[in-house]
Amino acid sequence: MGETVALKFKFLDVPISIGVDFFVVMLVLGALWRTPEQLPLWMVVVTGAVLIHEMGHATISDFLGFKPVIRLYGGGGLTLTMSTDGRGVTPRQHIAIAAAGPIAGLILGGGVGLAVLAAPRISSNDIVQDLLWVSLGWSAINLLPFPGVDGGSIVTELTAIFLGRPAEALGRTIGLVVVGAILVGLVLAGLYDWAFIVGLFAVMNTMRTGFRAGGVGGRVAPQSPGQLLMEGRYREAFNLARVAMTDHPTDVGPILTASDALRLMGRYADSEWGYDKVVAFDPANSRALRGRAFTRRHLGRDADADADIAALLGLPRDAAVISQAAALYDADRHAEGYRLTCDALPMAQSPVLVKVLRSFVTMFEYALGREEEALRHIEVLVGAFPDDAALLEQRALILMDLGRFPEAVVDARKALALKPQHPSYLETLGLASRMSGDAAAALQALNLSTEARPSDPRARAELALCQVQVGRLGEARAALETLPGYARRDPFARYAQAAVAAATGGNDAAIGFLREASRLRPELGVRAGVDPLFRTLLADPMLKAAPDAPAG
């Protein structure tokens, strides 16, 4: 996680760690209204109250079958919901977990309030005042719909339930509108101190991203490590999975998540180690077989990768079809993957599985160079799920290969707005921007994408293509030449090598690279026809047909 831990222990079998920065912030807050002599009692009260709040989250997490882990740092608390089977928290579960923390604080404060009513003389006691303030005041604030705290999570999930689809951006907007109305009401009522506190809290939590959000009251983590992978926040997912591996060393779920995160960051040797451990424990684990096949192929061990895919395809389709389709797509076996997903689609019962399989059908159609057909299918999916960033990215790629660059840029920006800093969406935005002629904007996005996964051949290839377009041929060559030998055989790397060759007058070599790239990924043959980098090369009708010609 990166913070310095002051205390680490377990309470009711829940792992708890408290960072040094938590105590520092609490001391600063206490010093604003307590004397030095009163600070020790303040620290005990506030730490206990925050832990009770987080234990509320943890209790419901455990009841719902997730393994909670509590972290206190930077003046706030966070309860992580760890899944051992890869499942995420549903909207209704998330609402229950998020509400449990403030409810626990309100119960504590209510108990203290009843004690004050029964014995009014204790109301002036410093401990009682602190307990009332921390438990009631901060629990109430945590129920306000700020982005990044419990109330904001509840509003976002209620919006998703009401619309029947994820709607994080709309949920955040609704929350901010409500908070704005509350602020105006406080000012009009003359409650300036409370308006200042609520306003400060709103600004802090809106500006914060990642995990370090939430004030003294704390909050529940909005995503499991698996969900963080879907957000493209690979390093954060790895860090959380590493925490879970320490707290729950016998569970394979955190090992799988850590391995997936390492694979997505391009750390293939490290990720293979994790997949090996999972497969040794569970040889039929479809997710581990798919991940290890991908890793081994990127390490240049095609025979080992094919063996993993063969084992994966031998598993029952109803339980492993998503991993099977993903493995075939990774291996550029697109015709086979297309048949598999089309055969599986009529048998799918779950709406989620139907959506995923239809998405794979579109991906395979696109990879096979059938852009028009893929576009018709993706339009239907985007119409049904307009806030699905992955579908928007798919449509952007298809539109781009059809030469509709401005529309592709719009979709790529929408996907990135839904999942900021996602490396894949940054790459797609960079690619669409480059194709539309905005190479400067493209370079910025592609540099960020490559920084997140420096060993990924596709990320490096897209960066090299942009460097060619802005005239940085030396940097483009370096980006490709520093790839391992097996990675240079990647179809996207071949496509980038074609661009370098074309820019330096090596037309025959460029055509050879394009033919090889389009043989593995027919979409690249289509893309070359609209790519500004190959406009001169393919101006000759004879050369334009070359990428689609059979390899010699």
Those residues with Cβ within 8 angstroms of residue 396's Cβ, 6 or more apart along the chain or in another chain: 407, 408, 409, 411, 412, 415, 428, 429, 432
| Amino acid 318: pLDDT | 82
| Amino acid 359: pLDDT | 95
In this structure, which amino acid lies at residue 50? Answer: V
In this structure, which amino acid lies at residue 67? Answer: K
Those residues with Cβ within 8 angstroms of residue 302's Cβ, 6 or more apart along the chain or in another chain: 296
In a domain, 434, yes or no: no
Choose between 109 and 545: higher pLDDT. 109
Question: b/e per residue, 201-224, with b = 16+ CB within 10 A?
Answer: bbebbbebeebbbbbbbbbbbbbb
Choose between 484 and 206: higher pLDDT. 484
In a domain, 244, yes or no: no
In this structure, which amino acid lies at residue 242? Answer: R
| Residues 370-410: tens digit of each pLDDT | 989 999 999 999 999 998 999 999 999 999 989 999 999 99
| Residues 245-259: tens digit of each pLDDT | 766 667 788 889 999
Q: What is the mean pLDDT of residues 40-56?
A: 87
pLDDT band at 306 (very low <50, low <70, confident <90, very high): very high
Q: Across the chain, what does the average pLDDT equal? A: 82
Those residues with Cβ within 8 angstroms of residue 437's Cβ, 6 or more apart along the chain or in another chain: 405, 532
Both tokens of 375, joined, read: 């576009």
| Amino acid 215: pLDDT | 38
| Amino acid 80: pLDDT | 74
For residue 56, pLDDT over 60 is answered with: yes
| Amino acid 17: pLDDT | 83
In a domain, 102, yes or no: yes
In this structure, which amino acid lies at residue 365? Answer: E
pLDDT band at 550 (very low <50, low <70, confident <90, very high): very low
From 222, 255, 290, the end of a domain falls on 222
Continuous H helices in 189-285? 192-207, 225-231, 234-247, 253-264, 268-281
Choose between 304 and 455: higher pLDDT. 304
In a domain, 409, yes or no: no
Give the residue among 87, 196, 187, 106 at the shortest CA–CA distance from 151: 106
In a domain, 423, yes or no: no
**Residue 316 and residue 157: Cα distance in Å, rounded?**
34
Name the percent of the chain lying above pLDDT 70.
Answer: 86
| Residues 472-491: tens digit of each pLDDT | 999 999 888 888 777 778 88
In a domain, 199, yes or no: yes
In a domain, 361, yes or no: no
Which of 208-217, 435-444, 499-508 has the least mean pLDDT?
Answer: 208-217
Kindly report whether the global pTM for this prediction surpasses the value 0.85.
no
| Amino acid 218: pLDDT | 46
Which of 190-194, 376-380, 525-529 has the least mean pLDDT?
Answer: 190-194
| Amino acid 204: pLDDT | 57
**Residue 435 and residue 409: Cα distance in Å, rounded?**
9
For residue 552, pLDDT over 60 is answered with: no
The range of the structural domain enclosing residue 198 comes to 5-222
CA distances from 517 to 367, 528, 550 (A): 12, 10, 11
**Residue 489 and residue 137: Cα distance in Å, rounded?**
61
In a domain, 269, yes or no: no
From 207, 222, 237, the end of a domain falls on 222
Both tokens of 256, joined, read: 């799988």
Q: How many domains does the chain have?
A: 2
For residue 538, pLDDT over 70 is answered with: yes
From 222, 240, 256, the end of a domain falls on 222
| Amino acid 345: pLDDT | 92
